[in-house]
Chain A
Amino acid sequence: MTPLVRPKLPATVVAAVVALALAVPALAGNGGFAPVPPASPNAEGISQSYWFVTFFILGIFVLVETLLVVFVLRFRRRRRARHADGAQIHGSSRLETMWTVGPVLILFAIAVFVFAKLPGIKDVPTASAGEPNLVVKVTGRQYYWQFEYPNGVITIDELRAPVGGVVQLDVTAPANDVIHSWWIPALGGKIDAIPGRVNHTWFQAEHAGVYSGQCAELCGLNHARMLSKVEAMPRAAFAAWLAERKAQQDAGTSPLGREAYDGVCAKCHGLAGEGKVAVDAPQLQGASLVSDAAGIERLLRNGGILMSAVGRDWNDTQMKAMTDYLKERFASGN
């Protein structure tokens, strides 16, 4: 009997401390005990399914662990001889049936609930005539997200969306790239960005704010830096921003060059062009290449020794924004 009780004490103490440590953040927010608070109807449906499953799982978990602890305490050897037989029971068909049928019923209930929630999670709400859904093309690339709006506006790593508006995402990756996975936890589940395929998902941000996420499929050495953000803003502000951004982009004054630098270049070359953030990426500050627009374009389209072709299929507007920005930012040091 002693071997059980003695070593169990420190474990109990540790467990209690851990439980307390976890209880504090749990009270403050959900602390990771549930998916992040949903801010879109599809994320809401997932969250409800999560809680429905949790209800049963917690019940079974408590049942099994309680029985285990009770049996361990109740049927421990105590003063009996080590070799004394326990009750020689070989089984029970009735119990066997119970713990087969019970789980089947529970799983059936879970499946029914999930199916009931599925349309609200998966199906894009139909657009009304006056208010079409905004369709954005999302391209996952090593190691940035590129967003293209219907009017041709391009942004990198940060997607803006109108509060309350349904945003449909066509998620893909270029044929020469690798698999990425689009995920903003508060705005719904993941969908993979697969080269050569287009997947679809959607969200409808319920309140203004910035929702962050990141690539969820291993995509290479900078996978951890492939972050993304969705900024939900009031409808009017969004419409104004999109129109203004379009005008800027056409005039060549949009911040696309800076965004592209921060999202595409800086993850290896550093936000200040200092180099060596990842592998042996050279320093850009003061490098002669930065003022050679044609040279940069060749490098971005074809890749270098270690560098992948991060801008292989960029359009001219995007390429020009990039080369202009590099020149303006780094050539001054020459």
Chain B
Amino acid sequence: MATNVGTPTVPSWQRGRVAGWLVTVDHKRIGLLYIATAGVFFAISGFLALLIRTQLAQADQSIVTGNSYNESVTMHGTGMVFFVVVPILAGLGNFLVPLMIGARDMAFPRLNALSYWLYLFAGLVFCLSFFAKGGAANAGWTAYPPLSLQSPGNGQDLWILSLHILTISSMAGAINFIVTIQNMRTAGMTWTRMPLFVWSIYVYAWLLLLVLPALSAGLTALLLERQFPGTFHFFAPSGGGSPVLYQHVFWFFGHPEVYIMILPAMGIVSEILPVFSRKPIFGYKAIAFSSIAIGFFSMLVWAHHMFTVGLSTPLNIWFMLVSMVIAVPTGMKIFNWLATLWRGNLSFDTPMLCAIAFLSVFTFGGLTGIYLAAFPVDWQLHDTYFVVGHFHYVLFGGAVFAILGGLVYWWPKMVGRMLDERITKAAFWLTFVGFNLTFFPQHLAGMLGMPRRIFTYYDTGLLQAYNLASTLGSFTMGVGMLLFLGAIVKSVNGRRAGNDPWLGDTLEWYTTSPPPAHNFESVPYVTSARPLYDLRRTLKDSGAL
């Protein structure tokens, strides 16, 4: 098949430094574009978070107006969920999946490029919302009608359109991941020899494919009703619609979305822990299959976000029980990760610190979820800062720590240079301390009676103390993030990485850093989930290493 390996002819105008990136269909470059773009949105959404925290630092402040505050909350939430976490995972998946399964590229490279450019376009439309007449979308990231129907101007419409475009991007990406993983695994890589990160991306892609259409349907109805209020009456009760219907549709998408964000993060942790423990992952099959279980059950629990709308008791009971069922496969993962550390040879490089931080704070975030599943308790805690604290422990403490760890871990593979260890460690500790200082007191503020999404409060006692702590923590995290950015900039001249700086077990470490356009000169026949470990042992036994 030598004819296939010949260098394709590239027109000269596509070979420039910028043009090369614009026309690329290389999964690695597309992955990096995803990660860089998501980084920009992380900065924007993070800035909004600091604005929110500044406004709430003290009681009865008016640094921003009620309306600007609602815009900030809405754009922060939407930005972080849709334009940061999901795309950065798509970026890591794009870069890593073909390398990890020993493939040359994704199954549909051009479709892959389309996914990225649609994502960027969606992001630009999203940002336009800030400049719309009447201001940005301000009905929260959940955009519940009738409030989202009433929001004036076109900010909300641009918000809807941006998510529509993003949905198309994600669907194309999801199909690409599924086809790639099903068909392009290298010789010997059976389903149970596949890296756990690839497993998690596989479930992530299926979930996207299954639930995004619900979001599209809900948003289409919302857009139609906003634009033609006399003709369409899906949600506005004044026209005979049901606002609760929207909540069902939104959360049918919205809850699996949480697992879309957290499963690949769990996949990253499942890659990092064994490498820095010098052990195989404990309970490979349990971790892989628990991902499928979590993905499946996540589609059956949506109304636990709706315990206060007055559903019938049998429905509440159903959604409580299924929500609790999800805790079982999640708990399995946590215990398997713990057991992976047991009797290991632990090295605490930054990726490992991030993975351990993930383990400790995600456990907390998962456990506080049990309160929210027990619906009478949720009647007390729903829509308070307790919930804000809970989901930041899951999504920042879980997803973001894992992503940071993953970036530090795979950075050498992506650019061929190491990130500065001292800077990334300092960034990690600032972020870890700042994170807990920000989000732990929010649980307490919520139980004192502070609802979420309020632009001010009047209690100058304990409630203000908790809010001030939270604000201090958020700025500490901000400094940590800036340091991390500094480490990335500095890595341009960083230490050269070599093929396999961490002594990894999976195939991406078998090729050069960064890998060549075609990824591999050759791929060894895979006989276990740790092909490189096997290879090192064979070499050692034969005396070559």
Contact = CB atoms under 8 A, between A and B. Distances in A.
A209 B441 CA distance: 28
Interface in A105-148: 107, 110-111, 114-115, 117-118, 121-122
A112 to B, nearest CB: 11
Contact of A181 (B139, B349, B375, B383): B383
Interface of A: 3-4, 7, 10-11, 14-15, 18, 21-22, 25, 29-36, 43, 45-46, 49-50, 53, 56-57, 60-61, 64-65, 67-68, 71-72, 75-77, 80, 82-92, 95-96, 99-100, 103-104, 107, 110-111, 114-115, 117-118, 121-122, 175-179, 181, 183, 185, 188-192, 194-197, 199-200, 212-225, 278-279
B492 interface: no
A224 B280 CA distance: 52
A96 B309 CA distance: 38
B360 interface: yes
Contact of B462 (A25, A214, A217): A25
B282 A46 contact: no
A77 B429 contact: no
Contacts of A219: 147
B308 A76 contact: no
B66 A223 contact: yes
A56 B368 CA distance: 11
A138 to B, nearest CB: 13
Contacts of A199: 309-310
A64 B363 CA distance: 8
A91 B377 contact: no
Contacts of B379: 46, 121, 188-191
Given A18-B437, A110-B370, A221-B67, 12 more contacts: A3-B421, A49-B374, A57-B370, A71-B342, A89-B342, A90-B282, A92-B339, A114-B320, A185-B449, A195-B243, A200-B310, A214-B451
Contacts of A189: 308, 376, 378-380, 382
Contact of A84 (B345, B462, B465): B345
Contacts of B344: 71, 75, 86-87
Interface stretch (B157-165, B253-261, B453-461, B518-526): B453-461
A178 B244 CA distance: 12
A224 B445 contact: no
B147 A46 contact: no
B284 A90 contact: yes
A33 B332 CA distance: 28
Contacts of A87: 279, 342-344
Contacts of A215: 451
Nearest to B274: A86
A47 to B, nearest CB: 8
Contact of B346 (A35, A61, A76, A107): A76
A181 B284 CA distance: 45
Interface in B294-319: 308-310, 313, 317
A271 to B, nearest CB: 14
A222 B69 CA distance: 10
A14 B433 contact: yes
A3 B348 CA distance: 7
B461 to A, nearest CB: 9
Interface string B200-244: 000000000000000000000000000000000000011000111
A213 B346 contact: no
A88 B279 contact: yes
Nearest to A120: B376
Given A36-B447, A85-B279, A87-B279, A77 B345 contact: yes
Nearest to B66: A221
Contact of A89 (B328, B343, B381, B425): B343
A111 B320 contact: yes
A84 B380 CA distance: 51
Contacts of B444: 22, 31-33
B186 interface: no
Nearest to B473: A18
B43 to A, nearest CB: 25
A214 to B, nearest CB: 6
A91 B367 CA distance: 24
Contact of A96 (B242, B283, B308, B347): B283
A32 B66 contact: no
Contacts of A122: 313, 376
A50 B345 CA distance: 40
Contact of A36 (B342, B360, B449): B449
B380 A72 contact: no
